[in-house]
Structure 1
Amino acid sequence: MADVLSPAAPSDATPQAILAADVGSTRTHVCLIQRVEGSHRLVARAESPTTAGEPENDITIGVCRAIQEMEAIVQRPLLDSDGDVLTPMEQSGRAGVDAFVATASAAPPLRCVIIGLTDDLSVETAARTCAAANTVVHGTISLGETMRRWDDATLQSLHEAPPDVILMVGGVDTGPVAPLESAALVLATIYETVDAAERPVIVFAGNQEARRTLRELLAPLFDYRVVDNVRPDVHTEMPGELHRELTAIYQHIALPRVPGYSRLQEWAATPILSTSEALGHTWRFIAQRDRLERGLLGIDVGGVTTHVGAVRQVIYQWAVSASLGTSQGAEGLLRTVGRERLLRWLPIPLSAAEALSYLQNAHLRPYSIPQTMEDLVLGHAMLREAIGVSLGQMRHLYWAPEDGESAARSRDRGHPVPSFDLIAARGGFIAHTPQDGLITMALLDAVQPIGLVRVVTDWATAWPQLGAVAAFAPLAAAQVLACDGFHTLGTVIAPSGTGKPGEIALRLRIERDDGQTIALDVPAGTVRRVPLAVGQRARVQVYPSRAFDIGLGRRGVGGQAEVMGGSMGIVIDARGRPLELSEDMEECRTRNQLWLRNLIDDDADAPA
């Protein structure tokens, strides 16, 4: 649905006031959209901790708390005496709203067990696909070891604690069927006495020859689904259909299990969307509206999961990484990347023990907001690594080159991210960071963009809600997004290549629309900033040295473009691509300090 937000002509049926909520894993955000002087605007927003777990066990409690906070802001009732959303709005406009919509990502990641012929090939592909589909693999069972892993402990675990999904893979097309048939018989025996509502969904993504046999054995007992073989031959991976199926299972099976979901749906004018789907609608509309030839890279770093989406022409690709976030996902992130990768981004001295203490506190107190510079810089280190891991998932699913050596390098973050016209970033930690320089630096380090790219953020944490609003009021969603949807950081110019520190990497001539002209030489290994206010434009001419390519495909070739300003103006990142960090922590810290100082207006606020 690339045109999901396409504006429609105004009509009397267009709602005057819309209340929209996004129920995240840690925080719930609510925004009020209202027609003001003929155009819909974002008039208020509020947030509250999500209440999916103990002691409340009802997500509508958190939604109501956020709405009550909003009532105090707008000075009118939005809930009735029973605590339900007050609809429709009174003719006087002094109470209620015309419609309520919601998105949600409060369900925990899917729990999955993979059954495959061997521990490599298909199982590896399936595991990587799960990692990009908000799914955690709790175990694998190999059928290639003469069923030795079907021991009593395995059987008991599957029976007493059924996973959400059992993923069966293995065998190239026209390969062996007997091991998969035997596994299906075991599963049927395990779950024949288990209540139907508690049985796992079974997804088969293996040998085509086994489809009919497995359907006959499993379909009578299970919600049984078939997708493309993830390994149709030893040289080919096809994870796309499995990725989409796992995403659908999360939205249609996992989310409705969240306590309070049914009451929230009763309030809503449209079906509740998963946050990732609604956000995808918004990102696709932005790319379509702005006619972005190279597309848009969307980033959403939450407390538990990290979502990355890419829009190029009419194609939308995405990955949702489970247990990788800045609060309850901090421990999963630490297990994935290790402490050293986090510590290398810090511009201040912090011991491994101090960092570990912070990460544990972030996990135990997910609703806390960063209060100190230590909180901020360590949180932004997590931000960088969560984005980096998720981009690695995108490389595996969509961007990996065909040849094996380059593909392996791509998955290991050695291969650059494709070029995009716009980076659109959001997340609780980003929204609660007071310094745009910190946000910009984190995004540059994590994404390592090449060429010329504009960077914006979701300052109001409203992009998912606008994706849901668009389902029945596309004009309202489009108007709010155009007027209130962005906080523009600015335009980044970043060449690829490697140069000797101190040698000139880029020469720039910047002609601002107020008539001022700036000539600037940028040394290799540095980050520089040129002020250009929001709403201002400038024509930039860039001349790289022979060691650098500004995104034109050839080193040493210059170019020019008209750019837009923002809170950070024009940012020139001449550190080269790929970004190389020293293995010496003290040297890393010194460089991080220098880079960050150039992006923060007041040096007194910069970490030292």
Structure 2
Amino acid sequence: MNSTTAKQLDPDQINVILATDCGSTTTKAILIEKINGEYRQTFRGEAPTTVEEPAADVTVGVVNAVTEVGELAGRKLIDDNGEIIRPAQGDTGCDIYISTSSAGGGLQMMVAGVVREMSAASAKRAALGAGAIVMDMICSNDKRLPHEQIQRIRELRPDMILLAGGTDGGTLKHVVELAELIAPAKPQPRFGGSYKMPIIYAGNQEAAKLVEEAFDDDVKLMTVANVRPVLEMENLAPARDAIHDLFLEHVMAHAPGYNKLISWADAPIMPTPGAVGNILQTIAEQQNINALGVDIGGATTDVFSVFDGTFNRTVSANLGMSYSISNVCASATLPMILRWVHLDMDPRELRNHIKNKMIRPTTIPQTREALVFEQAVAREALRLAYIQHKEFATTLKGVQQQRTVGDTFSQNSSGASIVDNMKLNLLVASGGVLSHAPSMNQTAGMMIDAFEPEGMTVLAKDSIFMMPHLGVLAQVHPRAALEVFERDCLIYLGTCIAPRGLYRAGKSCFRYHIRSHSLKESGEMLCGEMKLFPLDEDEQATVTVEPGRGYDFGAGSGKRKEFQARGGKVGLILDARGRPLVVPTSEKDHLTELNSWIEELQLYPEPALTEV
């Protein structure tokens, strides 16, 4: 059964869905079944990924993971020939099979554009949105000499190149010069010389013929609609679709065993990050909310956001919790990490811990000190990744904007970040250090400290890293994907309510009134305080806040605001530490406040905090 047939299937006839995600180290499989008219995730299995020797066939790992799911479910999913059984009949087989993949290092791309801040930035957004890691960006104005750029193109072995530049009907010269720079460099694809390097041209359409003439038969050139047809607009979808098509046709087809996997799947295989972005976009659209998702891994941290319908994704390639932990410590600096540590720690031991984590990336903290330190590093990795994301997720640069009299006194808003914490409705966490923290309070604490949400923000985490599976399922069966996302994928931690406004020691920040079935509380929050109130998952509370002058919950400075807060595994958190978050300069005052936050949020219970 091919992908076109899958889309023609009556969604109501799809009762058993099998999905896999082939990661770089682990292949994860989940089973989704229709139970009493609702789709639920029922069983999960995993096995080592087998792209590399000795197996050198990705389907071996897939069959192993699916076999485990089948055994747990009491359902035979693999036949005697090692193939997935379809369609489902009784307790045998599944109706559709779908997959995502980041095995073999995922999708690695190089982008090229005429102006770094304009066409090249648009090309980079298209590549990142498709789930790629962008290895480098070549531009006419990137300060490298032509021979240095050619040398760089030769050194890199990307899976494909995206070339953009010029608005439609604009000047031809610059983008053609860029093509003439890439062509003689003879870029080589990552998976050897058995196929041609794919190049996607998404620039000035009038220059397409000249760009084509610049390349010879050593490359496979595909022309799609311009990513920046006019200065005021981006059109990223055609380039993203072309990246997905070439990812399947070229990159995946040359990785061991993928041809067989592609023939099994009922929908195109997507790069894992592209699928995660896809489900976040679907949720934001369906619920009409602004959402932010983060996936922190061993080597990289991915941040996804949807604000006012605009999707952005960034990859912070050197901010991770194992392979890149040294880089996090160097970028953030040790004092910034230690501001989250309430225990007395030996700097030498910390340095050893960092190096051990790099050479043994799969180890988990064995002591309380190690856990506190790793979670402190995670806060800084997330904070830095979010800063990078905000710098990238901007309004279009190079666009003249009409101004009112009021704008005359403000900074130029062209190129301003579209990420606004006050507008953020849902913050979703995934990745080992967040998903597998010993307590959910710790996950919530790390998210609030790193992202500094403002106004009212719902906090959630991906229960078993199911978002990639659901992202590709959303292409085939949106209803099933949404039902499973809401009921089984997300674990709601609760709600954070915090005002924007600077920390002023000892001053009153806001008054609050909380009303729910089980909770009736009123009080005052002083600057620097945090409070946690129990609020169950199926419970909502009406929270009224009355901020002091200089503090804003979204209605304006000093103006009263009412929220409907949803509960969760952690509860309702009121945060009066100020935004941006500043810790007291005095070490003694800081430790006192840090301990009060840890105690209030019950982050590290027993043994008692006697170390400070």
TM-score, length-scaled by structure 2: 0.79
Deviation at 1:465, TM superposition (A): 1.4
> Cα gap change, 1:22/1:122 in structure 2, threshold over 3 Å: closer, same or farther?
same
> Cα gap change, 1:10/1:409 in structure 2, threshold over 3 Å: closer, same or farther?
closer
Deviation at 1:324, TM superposition (A): 3.5
| Matching residue's letter, 2:460 | V
> Cα gap change, 1:108/1:333 in structure 2, threshold over 3 Å: closer, same or farther?
farther
> Cα gap change, 1:142/1:472 in structure 2, threshold over 3 Å: closer, same or farther?
closer
Deviation at 1:396, TM superposition (A): 3.2
Deviation at 1:61, TM superposition (A): 3.6
Give me the whole-angstrom Cα distance separating, in 2, the residues matched to 1:255 and 1:345.
Answer: 42
Structure-1 residue corresponding to 2:572: 570
Note if 1:273 corresponds to 2:277: no
Matching residue within 368, 371, 381 for 1:373:
368
CA contact (8 A) 1:88 1:96 kept: yes
Deviation at 1:490, TM superposition (A): 0.6
The CA deviation string for residues 23-42 of structure 1, in whole angstroms up to 9 with x for no partner, is 23343322222233443322
Unaligned runs of 5+ in 2: 1-7, 398-406
Residues 161-180 of structure 1 correspond to what in structure 2 (within 5 A)?
162-166=157-161
Matching residue within 421, 425, 435 for 1:421:
425
| Matching residue's letter, 2:13 | A
Larger mean CA deviation between 163-172 and 99-108 belongs to: 163-172
Bigger RCO of structures 1 and 2 (CA < 8 A, at least 6 apart)? 1
Larger mean CA deviation between 34-43 and 585-594 belongs to: 585-594
CA contact (8 A) 1:107 1:255 kept: no
The CA deviation string for residues 207-251 of structure 1, in whole angstroms up to 9 with x for no partner, is 788554323212654233567587988xx9979679847964784
Unaligned runs of 5+ in 1: 1-7
| Length, aligned pairs only | 586
Query: SS at the partner of 1:444?
Result: helix
| Matching residue's letter, 1:453 | T
Deviation at 1:296, TM superposition (A): 1.9
Structure-1 residue corresponding to 2:597: 595
Give me the whole-angstrom Cα distance separating, in 2, the residues matched to 1:69 and 1:581.
Answer: 49
The CA deviation string for residues 146-200 of structure 1, in whole angstroms up to 9 with x for no partner, is x96527xx76775576443456677899998667656644644453999875554
> Cα gap change, 1:528/1:86 in structure 2, threshold over 3 Å: closer, same or farther?
same
CA contact (8 A) 2:497 2:575 kept: yes
Deviation at 1:427, TM superposition (A): 2.2
Note if 1:535 corresponds to 2:538: yes
CA contact (8 A) 1:134 1:321 kept: no
> Cα gap change, 1:277/1:192 in structure 2, threshold over 3 Å: closer, same or farther?
closer
Structure-2 residue corresponding to 1:101: 98
Deviation at 1:13, TM superposition (A): 1.7
Structure-1 residue corresponding to 2:59: 60
Give me the whole-angstrom Cα distance separating, in 1, the residues matched to 2:376 and 2:415.
Answer: 23
Deviation at 1:439, TM superposition (A): 0.7
> Cα gap change, 1:539/1:480 in structure 2, threshold over 3 Å: closer, same or farther?
same
The CA deviation string for residues 10-61 of structure 1, in whole angstroms up to 9 with x for no partner, is 976222x222222233433222222334433222223344444455444334
CA contact (8 A) 2:114 2:120 kept: no
Matching residue within 494, 501, 508 for 1:497:
501
| Matching residue's letter, 2:514 | I
Deviation at 1:365, TM superposition (A): 3.7
Structure-2 residue corresponding to 1:303: 298
Structure-1 residue corresponding to 2:13: 13
Give me the whole-angstrom Cα distance separating, in 2, the residues matched to 1:61 and 1:258.
Answer: 13
Alignment root-mean-square deviation, CA: 4.4
CA contact (8 A) 1:88 1:97 kept: yes
Residues 231-380 of structure 1 correspond to what in structure 2 (within 5 A)?
244=240, 248=244, 251-252=247-248, 253-292=250-289, 295-312=290-307, 314-330=309-325, 333=328, 337=332, 339-350=334-345, 353-380=348-375
CA contact (8 A) 1:435 1:600 kept: no
| Matching residue's letter, 2:427 | I
> Cα gap change, 1:409/1:160 in structure 2, threshold over 3 Å: closer, same or farther?
closer
Larger mean CA deviation between 543-552 and 46-55 belongs to: 46-55
The CA deviation string for residues 126-165 of structure 1, in whole angstroms up to 9 with x for no partner, is 89757886434358587898x96527xx767755764434
Matching residue within 391, 400, 403 for 1:396:
391
CA contact (8 A) 2:442 2:603 kept: no
Note if 1:137 corresponds to 2:142: no
Query: SS at the partner of 2:528?
Result: coil
Give me the whole-angstrom Cα distance separating, in 2, the residues matched to 1:592 and 1:131.
Answer: 37
TM-score, length-scaled by structure 1: 0.80
Identity over aligned pairs, percent: 28
Residues 219-230 of structure 1 correspond to what in structure 2 (within 5 A)?
220-224=217-221, 225=223, 228=226
Structure-1 residue corresponding to 2:29: 30
| Matching residue's letter, 1:66 | A
Give me the whole-angstrom Cα distance separating, in 2, the residues matched to 1:115 and 1:282.
Answer: 28
Query: SS at the partner of 1:492?
Result: strand
